[in-house]
Amino acid sequence: MTVKQRLLWMAIGGGLIFALVCASCAGFFVIAASLGTSDLAVGPAVAIVRVEGVILSGDPPVDPFGTPSGAYSGVVRDHLRQAEQDPNVKAVVLHVNSPGGSVVGSDEIYQQVLAMTKPVVASMGELAASGGYYVSAPADEIFANSGTLTGSIGVISQFINIGGLLEEYGVEVTTIKSGEFKDIGSLFRPMSAEEQAAWQTIIEETYAEFVKIVADGRGLPVEDVKQLADGSIYSGRQAMELGLVDELGDQAAAIQRAAELGDICLLYTSPS
């Protein structure tokens, strides 16, 4: 994937409406590529929970033609809870390859990561931007590749106005509403100054929460985070220099570190 393609995915992850994007040694342990079944091997284990694709809230819809793509918060939370409850799992690697997405979905995943009592190491892939960084922030440690694109800390909301186009073709829209702001963000007219101000308040409130989450997760002053949180994109190496990432390394390095934090020895891993 080229840098331009990754930036395109990051823009999509931002959203069109409202988004962000070994103390003792056991016999062996297995890296679990996925959860949801009882296929974890016996023995101390590091579980891999994946956040891949655009982050969406809730559970995927029933689709007879296959599983919809995206990182659904309900699925990710279930996997994290299973890892938390499984006595064989001693640590978790949260593999994040996401441009971001839903604010609600990102926060639901974040809350579950925050609630984990077992060590969690975030491992960033190609992208861990906006909501992808949001869910990584509470991890005990964050690993990124030097070429990972991350950051993009901020909130964006965009509205399309096709009123001029409809007028050009002689199409009229009649709106009947119960209150002044009921059709805020309508496709058929420009947004008023009052409506923009109301929406800006929501954006700023969500942004402030995002900044606090990063500050708390990384142990950084809020004012320092604000200097970084202007929507800028950082490489993994830049992110480490700025304190947003702990180490440069791939998923294998993150697994090794999770094993250390979970007080288990890496003697065997299954394919991930």
Catalytic residues, by residue number, are 130, 182
Can you read off the two tokens belonging to residue 128? 């861990």
CA distance 198 to 18: 14
DSSP-derived letter for residue 94 is E
Query: In this structure, which long-range contacts are made by residues 2-11, counting pairs with CB atoms below 8 Å and at least 24 apart in sequence?
Result: 3/149, 6/99, 6/126, 6/127, 6/149, 7/149, 7/233, 9/99, 9/127, 10/99, 10/100, 10/127, 10/129, 10/130, 10/149, 10/152, 10/233, 11/99
Q: Identify the CA nearest to 109 among candidates 52, 152, 168.
A: 52
Strand partners for 46: 31, 91
To the nearest 10°, the Cα dihedral for 104, 196, 184, 21?
-30
DSSP reduced 3-state for 101:
strand
Say if CB 132 and CB 9 are below 8 A apart.
no
Query: Per-residue b/e over 160-172, b at no fewer than 16 CB within 10 Å?
Result: eeeeeeeeeeeee
Strand partners for 117: none
Contacts of 221 (CB under 8 A, 6+ apart): 215
